[in-house]
């Protein structure tokens, strides 16, 4: 903690006499973890005076604004005391494990037994006269996020108070800006997605926080394909499989959200089909893609993450279909190798979530890896400079357009199947085609 205490001394050298490390940075000290955020409370009365001394920017509006700045190379968030003195400030925080402070001498201020709750691994509301949830309803989701990411149990009294608050304030909770929920939901799903969804279900939060997921409840599926039950039950099972995968590979919010939302388009796509004499979900992938993009936009998820999740939702059925080497090439061209590999993780979770073995997905993955390896070898043999659109247009004498893409795909398929082993062979085929000697399908050249 000496590195962080030095921040308080730096503040004093700049004229801010009273300051404390608060919240997560102190909690992480007790947990033996490297802090991810550094929050400081100071005794100044004017936020503009803090900016004048430290620089940075004001985030939010008074009286709940902070100063986001950098001290000694650390990004920090500095707030004004929300009460007369640090104990009163801590009284207005959410949970005892966050109602902790440390001064410049390393002394701990712990008026509510937060350190003891950390040792017992218990989440407990600050025992203040006013409910912490009245000040910020988002804290009901934050409680479950902490339970998920820290692995703490919820104190029985806190559980009762939380569920009572949720039951009495459903309308208020439903009107909270989705962006504020998004910050908590992303952290929870990135850590333990199945457990986190189970907590949200247990606390009756799905209808108000994730209505798109709640809409899956009761949407029945053909037993021949989904003996596990309705779409929501299936989604729980897929998230359980995703959580097992993440236990081996680490945090993966893209896979977790892909598992959560892969069938989110089914409720609006469900239609009885006279030919098959059962309910079908044609187009649910495309509908799910739109819903996923809209939902993640509301959460203010970074654009790259949102587009990757939406792509998984849109294409999650491909690995289980009629999978060929050409399909492999199309996936690589469309998604890129890394996201395409993640698609197989999702497809395998989906298959096992339907009580299947996933053998067909494993076989498709092996074919995909074979094609990917062939493509990489061809690129390496080409000094990593494979044929591009300019090569195609120059040699064949054709303008930009769909034909260029078709030729490039044909070349990639040939490389992926090992029939073209480098750029020189690919250029040779293009030149033969330009002379009228090429065929519609790439043949191996010498």
Per-residue pLDDT of 136-146, as tens digits, reads: 999 999 999 99
Task: Please classify residue 74 by burial: count the beta carbons closer than 10 Å to its beta carbon, then call 0-12 exposed, 13-18 middle and 19+ buried.
Answer: middle
Start-to-end CA span in the chain (Å): 66
pLDDT at 96 over 50: yes
CB atoms under 10 Å from CB of 305, counted, come to: 15
Closest to 221 measured CA to CA, from 236, 232, 207: 232
Q: Is residue 222 part of a domain?
A: no
What's the pLDDT score for residue 446?
31
Average pLDDT, stretch 47-64? 85
What pLDDT is stored for residue 17 in this prediction? Answer: 87
For residue 370, what pLDDT is reported?
Answer: 93
pLDDT bucket at 274, cuts 50 / 70 / 90? confident
Range(s) of the domain holding residue 88: 2-119
Average pLDDT of 117-127?
97
Is it the case that residue 305 has pLDDT exceeding 70?
Answer: yes
Q: What are phi and psi of 251, to 5 degrees?
A: -55, 140
Query: Which pTM does this prediction carry?
Result: 0.89
What pLDDT is attached to residue 310?
98
Number of domains in the chain: 2
Last residue within a domain, chosen from 70, 85, 119: 119
pLDDT tens for residues 195-230?
Answer: 999 999 999 999 999 999 999 999 999 888 899 999
pLDDT average, residue stretch 361-368: 95
Q: What's the confidence (pLDDT) of residue 143?
A: 98
169 inside domain: no
- Beta strand pairing status for 39-42 and 74-80? parallel
In a domain, 112, yes or no: yes
The mean per-residue pLDDT over the stretch 285-308 comes to 96
- Residue where one domain finishes, among candidates 119, 153, 184: 119
Show which of 119, 153, 179 is a domain's final residue.
Answer: 119
- Check which CATH number belongs to the domain holding 80 and give it: 3.30.460.10
Bond preceding residue 385 cis, omega within 30 of 0 = no
| Percent of the residues in the chain that have a pLDDT greater than 70, as a whole number | 97
Tokens at 97, concatenated: 């494990």
Q: What is the pLDDT of residue 63?
A: 66
Classify 219 as helix, strand or coil: coil
Q: Where are the beta strands (DSSP E) in 60-178?
A: 66-71, 74-80, 101-102, 108-109, 122-123, 153-154
Sequence-separated contacts (24+) of 175-179 with Cβ below 8 Å: 176/137, 176/138, 178/295, 178/298, 178/299, 179/298, 179/299, 179/300
Residue 365 CB partners (closer than 8 Å, separation 6+): 319, 344, 348
**Mean per-residue pLDDT for 7-25?**
92
Closest alpha carbon to 259 in 283, 270, 280, 243: 243
Q: Residue 81 carries which DSSP code?
A: -
Alpha helices in 42-109 (DSSP H): 47-54, 86-91
Can you tell me whether residue 153 is helix, strand or coil?
Answer: strand
CA distance 200 to 198: 5
Find the mean pLDDT for residues 98-111. Answer: 95
- 387 found inside a domain: yes
Residue 242 in any domain: the answer is: no
Buried b (16+ CB within 10 A) or exposed e, 369-381: eebbebbeebbeb
Under the banding of pLDDT at 50, 70 and 90, the label for residue 84 is: confident
Residue 253 in this model has a pLDDT that exceeds 60: yes
CA 170, CA 165: separation in Å to the nearest integer? 8
- The per-residue pLDDT for range 386-424, each reduced to its tens digit, is 889 999 999 999 999 999 999 998 999 999 988 888 888
- Which residue has 């073209």 as its token pair? 420
- Say what the pLDDT of residue 439 is: 44
């Amino acid at each position: 903690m000496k590195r962080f205490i030095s921040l308080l001394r730096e503040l004093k050298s700049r004229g801010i006499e009273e300051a404390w490390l608060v919240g997560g940075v102190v909690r992480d000290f007790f947990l033996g973890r490297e802090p991810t955020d550094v929050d400081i409370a100071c005794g100044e009365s004017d936020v503009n005076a803090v900016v004048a001394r430290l620089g940075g920017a004001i985030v939010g509006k008074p009286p709940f604004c902070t100063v986001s700045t950098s001290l000694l190379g650390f990004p920090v968030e500095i707030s004004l005391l929300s009460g007369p003195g640090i104990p009163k400030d801590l009284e207005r925080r959410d949970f005892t494990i966050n109602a902790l402070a440390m001064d410049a001498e390393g002394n701990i201020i712990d008026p509510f037994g937060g350190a003891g709750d950390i040792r017992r691994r218990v989440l407990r509301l600050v025992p203040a006269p006013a409910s912490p949830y009245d000040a910020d309803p988002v804290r009901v989701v934050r409680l479950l996020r902490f339970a998920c990411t820290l692995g703490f149990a919820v104190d029985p009294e806190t559980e009762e108070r939380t569920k009572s608050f949720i039951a009495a304030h459903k309308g208020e909770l439903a009107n909270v800006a989705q962006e504020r929920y998004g910050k908590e939901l992303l952290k929870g799903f990135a850590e333990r997605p199945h457990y986190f969804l189970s907590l949200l279900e247990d606390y009756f939060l799905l209808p108000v926080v994730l209505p798109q997921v709640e809409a899956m409840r009761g949407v029945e599926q053909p037993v021949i394909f989904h003996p596990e039950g309705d779409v929501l039950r299936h989604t729980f099972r897929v998230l359980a499989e995703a959580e097992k995968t993440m236990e081996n590979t680490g945090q993966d919010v893209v896979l977790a959200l892909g598992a959560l939302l892969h069938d989110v388009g089914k409720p609006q796509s469900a239609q009885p089909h006279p030919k098959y004499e059962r309910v079908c979900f044609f187009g649910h992938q495309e509908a799910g893609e739109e819903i996923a993009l809209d939902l993640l936009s509301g959460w203010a998820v970074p654009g790259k993450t949102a587009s990757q999740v939406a792509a998984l939702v849109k294409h999650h059925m491909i690995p289980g279909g009629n999978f060929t080497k050409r399909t492999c090439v199309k996936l690589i061209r469309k998604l890129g190798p890394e996201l395409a590999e993640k698609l197989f993780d999702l497809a395998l979770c989906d298959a096992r979530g339907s009580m299947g073995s996933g053998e067909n997905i494993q076989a498709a993955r092996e074919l995909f890896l074979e094609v990917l390896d062939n493509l990489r070898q061809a690129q390496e043999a080409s000094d990593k400079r494979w044929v591009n659109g300019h090569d195609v247009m120059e040699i064949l004498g054709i303008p930009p357009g769909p034909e260029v893409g078709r030729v490039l795909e044909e070349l990639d398929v040939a490389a992926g199947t090992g029939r073209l082993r480098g750029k020189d062979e690919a250029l040779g085929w293009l030149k033969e085609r330009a002379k009228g000697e090429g065929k519609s399908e790439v043949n191996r050249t010498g």
